[in-house]
Amino acid sequence: MIRILLAGALLATFALAQTFRAGAATSNITPPLGSGIVGGWSAPPAHHIHDDLHARCLVLDDGSSKLVFVVVDSVSVNREVYDEAKRLIEAATGIPASNMMMSATHTHSASSARGENPMVLGAPFDDYQKFLIRRIADGVRRAVNNLEPARIGWGTGQVPQHVFNRRWLLKNGKKAPNPFGGEDTAVMNPGRYKNELLRPAGPVNPQVYFLSVESVDGRPIALLANYWLHYVVGVGPNKISADYFGAFADRIQQLLGADHQERPFVGILANGPCGDVNNNNYGATEPGPRYKPYEKIKLVANDVAQEVVRVRKTIQHRDWVPLKAAAADLTLNMRKPSPETLQRAKSILAQPPAEANDPLHTAIYARRTLDSSKWPATVNIVLQTFRIGELGIAAIPFETFTETGLEIKARGPLETTFTIELANGGLGYLPTPEQHDLGGYETWLGTNRVEREASRKIVARLMDLFGKVK
């Protein structure tokens, strides 16, 4: 008992001797007009910028370790882009790459950060990727320059009204055709099967998590939130937008009264495991309201921000907490088309149907099948865990299904755990093995790139990494 009391006293004395610091900054990463807008089946040129895109950066420092967050307004960013940005940051600041967590929001109204063809791996950086690398690196360096004594706190709220599983099972065992000539048990966005819906194929997570940092005199420095919702859309045609992620950053700043500070406040919304979730309630018995462009984006952003602010008023901001990080590569097998699938793709592309006559996108997936035949046998991904006091954060470079995020949350050893998806890379969707068995868009070759058991291997490795930081 005496030893325990002495150890506690020593820890308290050590904490008092430390100064916790935080710094934040943003970098504008808006592409030029004329850039292709990705996120749909085509990439129309941008004619207008509705709202700018940013890389939002936060640096935490407990006196012995620094952690870096970067959240990029992009549908997805290649690992190689992040790795080069990390190299520049480490060279300039000394912060190790393993302590940097970089992710994409998954807005569907931005230009590609994955090169001309995201299905081709290892291509040289294009001009926008080079620009993005420099802007990320500069943003983190500016956040380091902004480090100041700070307090930190975190909390969890509930915003259930905007999350719905978008994969559905149909009544009486009915199946739906897919672009490979087969049939699927699960259907994504099943509006065309409105009267045949049985139940969602998976869960949702109604929670919003957040990490708040403020100066020692109470001025907001930054707030990083994590909500498990794909995107909202409702953006006008040919317009660049950060979607509800950017709208949240603006709204949380307003609600905290942090507008026009001499040292600007930075609001950040990182996406969580929502590869099978969007905000369309296909199970509703009555049609929902019709929204004008950007109206629903603002609605979702405001609801999430209001809940964060409500909970933030109840939390304690602490003068000091320990920071830890762990990261490791994991090798996964990449999927390859069967000889029959490859031959079928070649036959389709020999006489491809017109887009209007191809509702299943067979030509698109035929091209993706050919690309996948050239993928390497394996791919190395980086997995990562952060510890901030009793808060744990996991990072996965895929559009991760909610049930995987819930498993990580349940198995994580810390008091609160959440996951940031599309982090440190972006390699498509990550269904669980059971969801692979159901089929559907997220499981198709070209939408999913890695082996059926990948999600289980990833969770197991993340638990090992949490063991290193607990």
| Alpha carbon distance 168, 180 (integer Å) | 20
Asked if 139 contacts 27 with a C-beta cutoff of 8 angstroms, the reply is yes
At residue 238 the predicted structure's pLDDT band, cuts being 50, 70 and 90, is very high
* Residue 389 confidence (pLDDT): 98
CA neighbor of 407 nearest in space, from 435, 379, 449, 378: 435
6, pLDDT greater than 90: no
Asked if 76 contacts 106 with a C-beta cutoff of 8 angstroms, the reply is yes
The mean pLDDT value of the chain amounts to 94
Asked if 448 contacts 432 with a C-beta cutoff of 8 angstroms, the reply is no
Beta bridge pairs of residue 386: 325, 393
**Residue whose structure tokens are 């559907």:** 440
13, pLDDT greater than 90: no
Lowest pLDDT segment from 1-10, 120-129, 165-174, 333-342: 1-10
9, pLDDT greater than 60: no
pLDDT tens digits, one per residue of 185-196:
999 999 999 999
Q: Mean of the pLDDT values across residues 286-303?
A: 93
pLDDT tens digits, one per residue of 105-163:
999 999 999 887 776 777 899 999 999 999 999 999 999 999 999 999 999 999 999 99
49, pLDDT greater than 60: yes
pLDDT tens digits, one per residue of 356-411:
889 999 999 999 999 999 999 999 999 999 999 999 999 999 999 999 999 999 99
Tokens of 82: 């992040």
CA neighbor of 200 nearest in space, from 309, 287, 284, 273: 284
Q: What string of H, E and C letters represents the secondary structure of the chain?
A: CHHHHHHHHHHHHHHHHCCCEEEEEEEECCCCCCCEEECCCCCCECCEECCCCEEEEEEEECCCCEEEEEEECCCCECHHHHHHHHHHHHHHHCCCHHHEEEEECCCCCEECECCCCCCCCCCCCCHHHHHHHHHHHHHHHHHHHCCEEEEEEEEEEECHHHCEECEEEEHHHCCEECCCCCEECEEECCHHHHHHEEEECCCCCCEEEEEEEEECCCCEEEEEEEECCCCCCCCCCCEECCHHHHHHHHHHHHHCCCCCCCCCCEEEEEECCCCCEECCCCCCCCCCCCCCCCHHHHHHHHHHHHHHHHHHCCCCCECCCCEEEEEEEEEEEECCCCHHHHHHHHHHHHCCCCHHHCCCCHHHHHHHHHHHCCCCCEEEEEEEEEEECCEEEEECCCEECHHHHHHHHHHCCCCEEEEECCECCCCEEECCHHHHHHCCHHHCECCECECCCHHHHHHHHHHHHHHHHC
* Residue 281 confidence (pLDDT): 95
Beta bridge pairs of residue 200: 168
Beta bridge pairs of residue 392: 387, 417
* Residue 226 confidence (pLDDT): 98
Nearest-5° Cα angle at 291, 205 to 297: 45
Residue 1 parent element (H or E) = none
170, pLDDT greater than 90: yes
5, pLDDT greater than 60: no
CA neighbor of 312 nearest in space, from 394, 213, 187: 213
Tokens of 461: 């490795």
List phi, psi (to 5°) of 57: -120, 140
What is the end-to-end Cα distance of the chain in Å, rounded? 23
* Residue 412 confidence (pLDDT): 96
The count of other CB atoms within 10 Å of the CB of residue 380 is 11
Percent of the chain with pLDDT over 90: 88
**How far from 132 is each of 53, 246, 345, CA to CA, in Å?**
11, 17, 35
* Residue 258 confidence (pLDDT): 96
| Alpha carbon distance 209, 256 (integer Å) | 17
* Residue 312 confidence (pLDDT): 98
| Alpha carbon distance 80, 424 (integer Å) | 9
Percent of the chain with pLDDT over 70: 96
At 220, the amino acid letter reads P
**How far from 239 is each of 36, 49, 104, 193, CA to CA, in Å?**
10, 5, 19, 31
Tokens of 420: 């940031």
pLDDT tens digits, one per residue of 69-92:
999 999 999 999 999 999 999 999
* Residue 17 confidence (pLDDT): 62
14, pLDDT greater than 60: no
Q: Mean of the pLDDT values across residues 4-11?
A: 50
Burial of 162 by CB count in 10 Å (0-12 exposed, 13-18 middle, 19+ buried)?
A: buried
* Residue 122 confidence (pLDDT): 76
The count of other CB atoms within 10 Å of the CB of residue 216 is 13
The reported pTM is 0.94
307, pLDDT greater than 60: yes
